[in-house]
Chain A
Amino acid sequence: MNKKMAKCIHENLDSILERWEYRMKDVEEERFFHFMPDELIDKTSREFAELMTSNLQYSEAINPEKLADFTEKVVRFGWSIKFVNKSIENFSDITFEIMEEEGVIDQSNVREYMKTFSKWISPHRNSIIDAYAVEWERTVKLQRIALQELSASLIPVFEKISVMPLVGTIDTERAKLIMENILDGVVKQRAEVVLLDITGVPVVDTMVAHHIIQAADAVRLIGAKCMLVGIRPEIAQTIVALGIELKDFTTTSTLQRGMQEALKLTNRKIVEVEN
Chain B
Amino acid sequence: MNMRIPILKLGDILIVSIQWELDDQNAIQFQEDLLNRLHSKNARGVLIDLTPIDFIDSFIAKVLGDVINMSSLMGAKVVITGIQPAVAITLIELGIRLENVMTALDLENGLDKLQIELEA
Contact = CB atoms under 8 A, between A and B. Distances in A.
B120 interface: no
A179 B105 contact: no
Contact of B89 (A180, A186, A192, A224): A180
B105 A222 contact: yes
Given A179-B89, A180-B89, A221 B105 contact: no
A190 interface: yes
A87 to B, nearest CB: 48
Contacts of A179: 89
A222 B85 contact: yes
Given A214-B92, A221-B98, A187 B85 contact: yes
Contacts of B88: 183, 218-219, 221-222
Nearest to A224: B105
Contacts of B39: none
Interface residues of A, number: 17
Interface string A170-204: 00000000011001101100101000000000000
B91 interface: yes
A218 B95 CA distance: 11
Contacts of A221: 80, 83, 87-88, 91-92, 98, 103
A212 to B, nearest CB: 12
A222 B103 contact: yes
B42 interface: no
A47 to B, nearest CB: 50
Given A190-B105, A192-B105, A223 B98 contact: no
B71 interface: no
Nearest to A216: B92
Interface residues of B, number: 19
Interface in B74-98: 80-85, 87-89, 91-92, 97-98
A135 to B, nearest CB: 35
A220 B97 CA distance: 9
Contacts of A180: 85, 89
A223 B82 CA distance: 7
Interface centre among A186, A217, A220, A223, by most B CB within 10 Å? Answer: A223
Most A CB atoms within 10 A — which of B81, B85, B87, B98?
B85
Contacts of A220: 103
Contact of A218 (B92, B104, B109): B92
A183 B85 contact: yes
B110 interface: yes
A187 B103 CA distance: 13
A219 B89 CA distance: 9
Nearest to B110: A223
A68 to B, nearest CB: 40
A266 to B, nearest CB: 11
B89 A187 contact: no
Contacts of A186: 85, 105
B44 to A, nearest CB: 20
